[in-house]
Structure 1
């Protein structure tokens, strides 16, 4: 299913994304290694066992990327020009290996691009939610989106 064009979005529009993903220890170790993040809280089980969590936390940037990624198929697949930024990103609850994450998205704002004809900016609110219905990630993402092709070419 292709993504939506700028004109196909409306403020307040909601998406409950069907695809979910259970995160794994391998995801955490691999992502932390690939991004050169040596934080013991993510990769050292012995050190993490002595924290208030008692086990490694999933890398929060992995969680953010997953939350945005799970939204793509229904919203922006093939119609995004560029991500312009994420703001107000929070992680209200921890994520651990074995958690299953699902995503809900709401369109917060729309505006045609002033500098790029045929494109517009959509601000999305993405919520990552675990299997206990707890919000584990919230972010606002501004995306530069293609406008629908005109009928004359």
Structure 2
């Protein structure tokens, strides 16, 4: 089991995730079209060349999914019941094709579930960084986690 049980998390700890991923144009085009987002800023090089960015932006929801996905192996793989929500999602810097994203997770809080004695709730803050160390995504995530078997 790669993920941690509820008891394995400590408030204030920061987990640096070793896996990194370079975002490709194919990632952006597939994700954007599969989710029915026709925004030219993601798909149209000519249009994007005339914006302040000068090139297409990677879909921010893809970026969010990637940052959370990079964290799963070290945190919740096989030990989560499910996500309870995402809060305070921010994208302070854009992501472009060719950027390499890495992630870290801070454990903000944890508490036992009042209604489920074998589970607890962990509040994570996930941060994604580009190859220049700039924060490109940050979010707070609440996860319902299993406790270790008795």
Name the TM-score, length of structure 2 as normaliser.
0.98
CA distance in 1, matches of 2:101, 2:57: 14
CA shift, 1:59, in A, is 0.1
Q: Which 5+ residue runs of structure 1 have no aligned equivalent?
A: none
**Corresponding residue of 2:134:** 134
1:24-63 map, 5 Å: 24-63=24-63
- Helix, strand or coil for the counterpart of 2:131? coil
Q: Residue deviations 1:33-79, cap 9 Å, x none?
A: 11000000001111111100010000000000000000000111100
CA distance in 2, matches of 1:134, 1:14: 17
CA distance in 2, matches of 1:15, 1:53: 32
Q: Which 5+ residue runs of structure 2 have no aligned equivalent?
A: none
CA distance in 1, matches of 2:102, 2:2: 20
CA distance in 1, matches of 2:70, 2:138: 13
Computed over aligned residues only, the root mean square deviation of the Cα atoms, in angstroms, reads 0.7
**Corresponding residue of 1:98:** 98
Name the TM-score, length of structure 1 as normaliser.
0.97
- Helix, strand or coil for the counterpart of 1:139? strand
